[in-house]
Structure 1
Amino acid sequence: MTMQPGAPQLHELPAAVARAAMDGMWADLGGEPAAVARAEDAVADGVPVKLYWPEGEGPHPVLIWIHGGGWVLGSAAASDATARDLCGLAGNLVVSVDYRLAPEHPFPAAVEDVTAVAKWVSREIGALGGDTTRMAVGGDSAGANLSAVLANALPGTFAQQVLVYPATDLTHPFPSYHENGEGLMLTKDALAWFQGHYLDGTGADLKDPRVSPLYADAATLTAAPPTLVITAGYDPLRDEGEAYAQRLREAGVAVEQVSYEGQIHGFFSMPAAIPEAREAIERVTSALRRAWA
């Protein structure tokens, strides 16, 4: 899938306009989601979240889900169909995080927000029907980056992490960055725009593990939970996702790494248009159900 010829690319638009365009696209392509028992908005230590409960009696295992969008775009509302699928199909309560976005709130605001939510969940979700002894974290793209950072920051908290085409090395030293950097959903120019909004002026080091979790030390990675990594063959981030899976394996972590060779970055959010997205969602929910068992 490519952007329409002649149309402005997302990274050529003001951030607010790009957000509205992306939110509309995800809403259109999310498909008919799984049924959930109920959904509510809440605030977790100052951070807006959307909560989704599965059918049945609790206490339910809990998934913290962190949306993608290059730390600049996306929202819990735009990820509603994904959150409902992950709730209804895996049988867990989902906490979908509306972390602050760049450039208004650059690094480390997003890291601070997802960390605050995880601590709130550990403290408060029991009263809302959640089981804090069975928790997972996951996300797609920038959300997978933040998920990995969060799992590394809070060892022992999560029984599973799910990283869907994660950004793990913002220096992008791998061949896929160049092989897949033009003409598709995510380009090198778009990555530069996202990273500029997220990091410019912050003084952050691209090899800070809170920016690029591939640079976490071995002791940190050894404490990571069992991990599912999903990559897409036509994604500039493909190789860094696979490299992160390999580093986790070398650290002794149980890793399932699945490559959807014919797919592009973003496909996971498009089950209405891409049948393999439904398969990938089911793979994630199967991994979660195994973790809960």
Structure 2
Amino acid sequence: MSDNLTSADRPENAPAHCPGVSSESAGKAAPCAGCPNQGLCSSGAGRAGPDPDLDRIRDRLAGVRRKLLVLSGKGGVGKSTVSVCLARAFAAAAADDGQVETPVHQQPQLQVGLLDVDICGPSVPTMLGLLGETVHQSADGWSPVYADESLAVMSVAFLLASPDEAVVWRGPRKNGLIKQFLRDVDWGQLDYLLIDTPPGTSDEHLSIVQLLKSAGVDGAIIVTTPQEVSLLDARKEVNFCRRLGVPVLGVVENMSGYVCPNCTRKSDIFPATTGGAAAMCKEFGLPLLARVPIEPGLARALDQGQCPIDTMPDGSETMTAMRLLVDQLRTALP
């Protein structure tokens, strides 16, 4: 790296000999190979000076009290499933209005938003029964689609002509859509905005974190499964968050055992050969927020776009875990 580069011109996690984000060779020089910022730098975003849209994003999200990222290092661990169930559980929870004498059933519900930034694999609308819905434009911007009166949703799936249409986009175009979601969607007043991200630590993750910095990111929830092949990537996700200054609120261990719908007996499908998420949380000093089992009823409800809170049996381990997760997050982020 050149000695005359300022800290603003060189990302904190840049490699040695970084040419600087303002350089014409940013993202293209030999030292850029393997750098997590390569996609953004090569798009030229860093050479444009301060992004005027950051102020617009901050103003747009001024009515959102808490903004949470849902991350996973590996695909297929059920991150979108956790995001949808968590959003449903938040939206079903009563907002604490501070009036002790007000019965819970008479208190207003929490207002929740769910932003799906998995541009190439948007599964959230299917799980919420919103497939085929479209986005409407108003004077205030894009109007999100509502799963119910307390849950607003935005996804690239609402912009496609067909659910079978493939999104074949390079990084800059995906980053541009993420910026539009943050800048142009009229979320209104929300208690929580959950952001369901694609797996990994790539362009989309860098974009969402950098764009949200002006509005603030309250923390990240990392989803993994018990086996070591998933935990290896979850560790990378923890380190990604720490490098970018995103607080890690804790870890959710999904597919933590299988609950038989007939005998309700629980058995392990994915063995925790190295101690599972609990051991990883101890290693990093993080809380294990929830263990969510595999339940056939959950998969069936989400495939049909039904609310699992309404369809799962009383005492379901999955929904019990989700309610506990909501309580923990509300305690950690009052």
Note whether the superposition's TM-score is higher than 0.5.
Answer: no
TM-score by length of 2: 0.37
**Which of these two proteins has the greater Rg computed from alpha carbons?**
2
Alignment TM-score, normalising by the size of structure 1 = 0.41
